[in-house]
Amino acid sequence: RKEVEQDPGPFNVPEGATVAFNCTYSNSASQSFFWYRQDCRKEPKLLMSVYSSGNEDGRFTAQLNRASQYISLLIRDSKLSDSATYLCVVNEGTNAGKSTFGDGTTLTVKP
């Protein structure tokens, strides 16, 4: 079993749709969590950090459930430009230790 697991998708949604991705992690001692976005043949780029209280950045909302060891990302009012692979990342420490990536969830937003 992988340390960080994501539904690979693909998720194919129309413009304007709301879509949610989940990610589960196995190391209960993990301290910090992030969502990254990766476009085809490009490097991953930070989308947002994930805080225990949940956080929002425009159309994007991230939530963390430590008890169940999962992280979620909600995208509202999907745009064509949201089409990408979304990677969940779990760190051993707040600013220390190893980082483990999921294999990503692919999203395609269609007109």
Partner 1 sequence: GAGVSQSPRYKVAKRGQDVALRCDPISGHVSLFWYQQALGQGPEFLTYFQNEAQLDKSGLLPSDRFFAERPEGSVSTLKIQRTQQEDSAVYLCASRGQGGEQYFGPGTRLTVT
Under rule CB under 8 A, residue 21 binds partner 1:
no
**Pattern 33-52, partner 1, x by CB under 8 A:** -x-------xxxxx--x---
The stretch among 9-17, 62-70, 75-83, 93-101 that binds partner 1 (CB under 8 A) is 93-101
The set of residues, in sequence order, having a beta carbon less than 8 Å from that of 37 and lying 6+ positions away, is: 44, 45, 47, 84, 85, 86, 87
The stretch among 53-61, 64-72, 75-83, 96-104 that binds partner 1 (CB under 8 A) is 96-104
**Pattern 50-89, partner 1, x by CB under 8 A:** -------------------------------------x-x
Joined together, the tokens standing for residue 60 give 């994007």
Please tell me the distance from the alpha carbon of residue 78 to that of residue 60, in angstroms, as a whole number: 10
Under rule CB under 8 A, residue 7 binds partner 1:
no
Distance between start and end Cα atoms, the chain: 36
Q: What 3-state DSSP class applies to 46?
A: strand
